[in-house]
Amino acid sequence: MPQLSALQWIIVIVFQAFYGFAVFALTQDYYERQMAVQAVMGTGANPARPHPDVNKAVPEPELPPIAPPTSQIPDSMAGQDPVLLAQQGDEYFRGRQYAEAIRLYRRVLTLNPSDVDTHNDLGLALHYSGNSAAALRVLKQGVEKDPSFQRIWLTLGFVQMYTDERPEAKFALQHALALGGDNGIGEEAQRLLDKLATEDGARP
């Protein structure tokens, strides 16, 4: 086994320290974003439709991709049932198969255009697939259908933060908070508002 020189040892140690710091920073950012997604996905209004495990749902290009599972609900079983279609979409979302999730969420909305919960999930899937403009259109449609649906205001503000529509994001998050500050959605809305305020205060 070749012996390393003192200089080579120093280079190895410095590289390992830098690599460890980089991994820590990326991991910290990853888990901060989970807090937001956990709130915007939440628990479905319909108890027959559990939402995906959002801790496995957020795409992070800096982290190794997971192997996406295929849906456990056969297409023939889902058929024309909006609840089963939405569950199937959630499974695809969980596996980061956003194109499939989007296809099924759109199908749900064709069958049940007033399903604001699915507007929320479709908007989030579109955002994570890289189509934030379409996500915002879907989320705004959902808000118009049911302005009292707290979670969709949070999702709207969340996406607007990442598209740098800061005044609009602040308005949406304040609206989510006004609909209830004593639950997970309200707490996340407050956290994001605090983040906006901190960032705005740091700007010259």
pLDDT in tens, 69-112: 454 555 554 567 899 999 999 999 999 999 999 999 999 999 99
User: Rounded to whole angstroms, how far apart are CA atoms 89 and 28?
Assistant: 28
How far is 199 from 147, CA to CA, in rounded Å?
Answer: 28
Q: Which CATH architecture has domain 6-58+69-202?
A: Alpha Horseshoe (1.25)
For the chain, what is the mean pLDDT? 76
pLDDT the model gives residue 17:
47
* DSSP summary character for residue 70: P
> 134 burial class (0-12, 13-18, 19+ CB within 10 angstroms)?
middle
Average pLDDT rounded to a whole number, residues 52-80: 44
Start-to-end CA span in the chain (Å): 55
Q: What is the mean pLDDT of residues 33-59?
A: 45
Query: What pLDDT is stored for residue 28 in this prediction?
Result: 39
- Cβ proximity of 194 and 203 under 8 Å: no
Give tens-digit pLDDT for 145-171: 999 999 999 999 999 999 999 999 999
Q: What's the pLDDT band for 56 if we cut at 50, 70, 90? A: very low
| Of 59, 176, 64, nearest in space to 126 by CA | 59
pLDDT 10s digits, 174-191: 999 999 989 999 999 999
Q: What percent of the chain has pLDDT over 70?
A: 60
CA distance 106 to 96: 17
How confident is the model over 54-76, as a mean pLDDT? 41
